[in-house]
Amino acid sequence: MRRLLLSLLLFILLGYSPLLAQPYDKIKIQVFDQVITEKEVELRTQQALQSEGVSLTDPLAYERIKGQVIEGLIDEALLNYRAKELGIEVSEEQIDNAIEQYRGQRGISERGFEEALEQQQMTLADFRRTVYLSKAREALIQHEVKSQISINEEELKAKHLENSQTNTMVHARHILVLVKPDASDEAVKKASDKIAALAKKLASGADFARLAKTESEDPTAKQNGGDLGFFGEADMDPSFTKAAFALKPKQLSPPVRSRFGFHLIEVLATEKRATIPYEKVKGQIFNQEYQNVYQQKLFEYMDALRTRAKIRYR
């Protein structure tokens, strides 16, 4: 869960999508002056299903992933519009460097890269445009989100002291149904009904890890079955932590709501750990706190963009 937001947004917000709207594509959603087409939604959904190893013929998984893809594409369009609004520019040199890095990371030759573009029915100009937009979004997030993050070391020391006084660690796993803090009553009810149905399946003997892999909306669940590893009381969302630390090993929680949505939590183990001096772990503590603050600020930033957005569904 600590990496939830980044996992959800990293590819969509900062990644290089091989898709560009074509003039003949049917428009599904319009965000300000930008369009999201039915073809784009369908292809992105297929890519996401394949990356998660989910069958393209699974209707429940398809609808779940499609909904996440649509929300992500709207967020992407909002960031594109905001970057344009602020006049953020990306140089040709930056684009060249990004493409070289992209090829190098994948071990793709120049000819192989050209063939890959042909397979996606893209020109080099198309791909350069996607890189331009991606780097502009990256610069926007750096300017309006990351630059606003300030970590107070005294607060980190106090949090470390708090953990060291209790020094109990919990190993838990969870199933997540996403719902925003300011979601409509209808969206909350839909998520609440879904988590309740999943709780019934677990109560009837369903395997937790298997259910997490197929139903959880935490994108890391496909790989880890919802396993969060060990964490301390100050490491997670307060509502989540309170519920997890109240459970005994092998005990399952009722639905718990955090700022991310609804969770079902199972504690696998607890243990007491010796206190490690702050100086030895301050780098790790700083990085963890930075990611937590970044996730929260990015959530708030995207919510603010949506509040003033002009979004039309066709």
Does residue 120 sit in the same domain as residue 201? no
Does residue 134 sit in the same domain as residue 179? no
Does residue 60 sit in the same domain as residue 197? no
pLDDT of amino acid 86: 96
Run means of pLDDT, 10 residues per run, the chain, 314 residues = 40 48 67 89 84 74 84 92 96 94 88 86 89 95 96 88 76 93 88 96 94 88 88 86 94 94 96 82 88 88 90 84
Is residue 216 assigned to a domain? yes
CATH number at residue 129: 1.10.4030.10
pLDDT of amino acid 1: 45
Is residue 294 assigned to a domain? no
pLDDT of amino acid 7: 40
**Helix/strand/coil (H, E, C) string of 201-231?**
HHHCCCCHHHHHHHHCCCCCHHHHCCEEEEE
CA angle 17, 104, 100 (to 5 degrees): 70
Does residue 139 sit in the same domain as residue 195? no
Count of the separate structural domains present in the chain? 2
Does residue 209 sit in the same domain as residue 133? no
pLDDT of amino acid 9: 42
Is residue 89 assigned to a domain? yes
pLDDT of amino acid 116: 85
pLDDT of amino acid 184: 86
Answer for the pair 260, 178: CB distance below 8 angstroms, yes or no: yes
Does residue 204 sit in the same domain as residue 118? no
Is residue 213 assigned to a domain? yes
Does residue 181 sit in the same domain as residue 244? yes
Does residue 110 sit in the same domain as residue 10? yes
Range of the domain at 93: 4-149+306-313
CATH number at residue 246: 3.10.50.40
Cα distances from 98 to residues 132, 162, 219, in angstroms, run 9, 43, 26
Is residue 183 assigned to a domain? yes
Is residue 265 assigned to a domain? yes
Is residue 288 assigned to a domain? no
pLDDT of amino acid 102: 86
CA angle 9, 196, 295 (to 5 degrees): 20
Residue type at position 132: Y
